[in-house]
């Protein structure tokens, strides 16, 4: 495909994906981080438009909850088919709008397809337990019921997959969905909605407003969060956002699912396969230009292997291909914007002042001149686990520390509040099992001999600790989108009462 003319290409992709041209004018500019050019100016939703969308979703829920779950799965299956047909176009739009390399843009759409498949199977497996009851001639069981309207707030760095993790499950569980995507990535959201509408048309009788998109910024997100008709708010983004959203939803006794930031670590032990470790570390730390919630940001290396690993890692950092994410061979595309570049610069400056040795971190020329922000990933060797190493800076910075003692390395892994993903590189079974055990890593994702970044949709994903503990996607995450009822049926002729209780009833 061409590497020229991002705006024209985006317009062509949006048309092919079924986004009406009139939705793409009248609002603020959406720029591609690749060149800084404006791709479109999609119109934003105002408060009455959001109010109407939630109203339509509430009405749709009344109908949808009565549709048998496997039939609800059929809608999600059809949506998965639409995604398969349009994978190339939607993946390419992800690249243009979020700046991801081509394979990652396509990979994100593949995740959407995978979670649709998962949800279709799930639509026949929303099982409840039958529980042994202590009362004679009684049966006790659990049933799972949909919640109502699910509000999804998503981050720029997974502009479409995060919504799909939520929506595919929410829909088979019998809920309606209102989506407020990141203000930085509205176009891929409109395209996803257009594909959903194609699937709904083929399905035939999906209620109007079952799934909708409301474009806007933080203000609109706050309105969604505060609306009592929204039973579950699933919000993905920074820890700062989660701190604001969590208490607001709790104040109205709503339910929230928070998927927040990650300051992820890996431990390298003397027995590690260093070739494998090097590849895993380089990819996890530099891929997606450090803009993944699971990006590797801290590395604790045993002294016995430090001097063999670090020179090779420095070489990988110095030679990695940085530039236009549409070009083959490029691993590191642009940062999302100038603010991300400034935040990276500030973190590196603090590290330097604290005595760290910094290699990389400088701005690199890309295809877009002053309006696009390309950087060489930074390797920061530190003597003390402190300062910016304790924070998530959403950019490619890897802090490296020598650490010999495994218990100390595990303690450092666990010493940040954002415990999302973690890894150990070792061929020592005892070390691996210790890291996986109750006294090991306290993160939501705990890996052995594989980097922390990325996750499969089959597992529950999201985080623990300060990240809100939200788990989306696979495993039994579906339970977050439903409420549990315990049902007891008395099929006998007597009503067991507490000992000594009597009624005089004629």
The residues binding ligand NAD (CB under 6 A) are 153-158, 162, 180, 182-183, 217-218, 221-222, 225, 236-238, 241, 244-245, 259-262, 293, 392, 394, 420, 462-463, 467
* Alpha-carbon span 76 to 168, nearest angstrom: 6
Give CA torsion, residues 377, 343, 389, 268, to 10 deg.
Answer: -20
Q: 27 or 128: whose CB is closer to ligand NAD?
A: 27
Dihedral sign of CA atoms 193, 198, 202, 204 in order: positive
Q: At what angle do helices 87-98 and 102-122 cross, to 10 degrees?
A: 130
Shortest reach from residue 162's CB to ligand NAD, in Å: 6
Q: Which H helix or E strand runs over 141? A: strand 138-146
* Alpha-carbon span 189 to 297, nearest angstrom: 29
DSSP labels, 335-380? -SSHHHHHHHHHHHHHHHHTT-EEE---EE--TTGGGS-EE--EEE
Residue 127's φ and ψ, nearest 5 degrees, are: -75, 145
Q: 236 or 413: whose CB is closer to ligand NAD?
A: 236
For residue 291, the SS3 value is: coil
Shortest reach from residue 217's CB to ligand NAD, in Å: 5
Q: 76 or 336: whose CB is closer to ligand NAD?
A: 336
Shortest reach from residue 65's CB to ligand NAD, in Å: 26
Shortest reach from residue 494's CB to ligand NAD, in Å: 52
Q: 256 or 426: whose CB is closer to ligand NAD?
A: 256
* Alpha-carbon span 450 to 436, nearest angstrom: 13
Q: What is the DSSP-derived secondary structure letter of residue 390?
A: G
Shortest reach from residue 87's CB to ligand NAD, in Å: 21
Q: 381 or 392: whose CB is closer to ligand NAD?
A: 392
Nearest CA to 304 among 271, 277, 273, 282? 271
Q: 218 or 352: whose CB is closer to ligand NAD?
A: 218
Task: For residue 442, count other CB atoms closer than 10 A to its CB.
Answer: 15
* Alpha-carbon span 367 to 371, nearest angstrom: 10
Q: Is 259 a catalytic residue?
A: yes
Q: What's the start-to-end Cα distance of the chain, in Å? A: 85
Catalytic residue among 74, 89, 111, 259: 259
Residues annotated as catalytic (active site), given as ranges? 259
């Amino acid at each position: 495909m061409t590497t020229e003319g991002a705006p024209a290409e985006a317009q062509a992709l949006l048309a092919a994906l079924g986004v009406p041209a009139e939705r793409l004018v009248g609002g603020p500019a959406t720029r591609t981080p690749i060149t800084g050019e404006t791709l479109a100016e999609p119109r934003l939703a105002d408060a009455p438009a959001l109010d109407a969308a939630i109203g339509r979703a509430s009405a749709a829920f009344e109908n949808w909850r009565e549709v048998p779950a496997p039939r609800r799965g059929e809608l999600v299956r059809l949506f998965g088919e639409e995604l398969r047909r349009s994978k190339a176009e939607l993946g390419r739009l992800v690249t243009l709008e979020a700046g991801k390399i081509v394979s990652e843009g396509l990979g994100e759409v593949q995740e959407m397809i995978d979670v649709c498949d998962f949800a279709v199977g799930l639509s026949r497996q929303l099982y409840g337990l039958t529980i042994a009851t202590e009362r004679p001639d009684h049966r006790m069981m659990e049933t799972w019921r949909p919640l109502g309207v699910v509000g999804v707030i998503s981050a720029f760095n997974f502009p479409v997959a995060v919504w799909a993790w939520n929506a595919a499950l929410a829909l088979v569980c019998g809920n309606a969905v209102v989506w407020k995507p990141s203000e930085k990535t509205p176009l891929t959201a409109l395209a996803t909605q257009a594909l959903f509408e194609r699937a709904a048309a083929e399905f035939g009788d999906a209620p109007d407003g079952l799934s909708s998109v409301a474009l806007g910024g933080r203000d609109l997100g706050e309105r969604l969060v505060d609306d009592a008709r929204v039973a579950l708010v699933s919000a993905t983004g920074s820890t700062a956002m989660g701190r604001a959203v969590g208490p607001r939803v709790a104040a109205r006794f709503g339910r929230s699912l928070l998927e927040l930031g990650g300051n992820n670590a890996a431990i390298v032990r003397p027995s590690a396969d260093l070739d494998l470790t090097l590849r895993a570390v380089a990819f996890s730390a530099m891929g997606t230009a450090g803009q993944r919630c699971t990006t590797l940001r801290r590395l604790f290396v045993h002294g016995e292997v430090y001097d063999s690993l670090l020179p090779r890692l420095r070489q990988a950092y110095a030679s990695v291909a940085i530039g236009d994410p549409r070009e083959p061979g490029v691993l590191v595309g642009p940062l999302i914007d100038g603010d991300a570049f400034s935040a990276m610069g500030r973190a590196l400056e603090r590290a330097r002042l604290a005595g760290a040795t910094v290699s990389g971190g400088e701005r690199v020329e890309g295809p877009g001149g002053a309006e696009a922000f390309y950087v060489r990933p930074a390797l920061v060797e530190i003597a003390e686990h402190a300062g910016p190493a304790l924070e998530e800076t959403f950019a490619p910075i890897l802090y490296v520390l020598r650490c010999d003692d495994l218990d100390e390395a595990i303690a450092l892994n666990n010493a940040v509040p954002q415990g999302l993903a973690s890894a150990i590189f070792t061929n020592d079974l005892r070390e691996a099992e210790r890291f996986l055990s109750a006294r090991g890593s306290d993160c939501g994702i705990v890996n052995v001999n594989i980097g922390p970044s990325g996750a499969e949709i089959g597992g529950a994903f999201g985080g623990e600790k300060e990240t809100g503990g939200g788990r989306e996607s696979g495993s039994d995450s579906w339970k977050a989108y439903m409420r549990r009822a315990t049902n007891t049926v008395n099929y006998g002729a007597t009503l067991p009462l507490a000992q000594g209780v009597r009624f005089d009833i004629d």
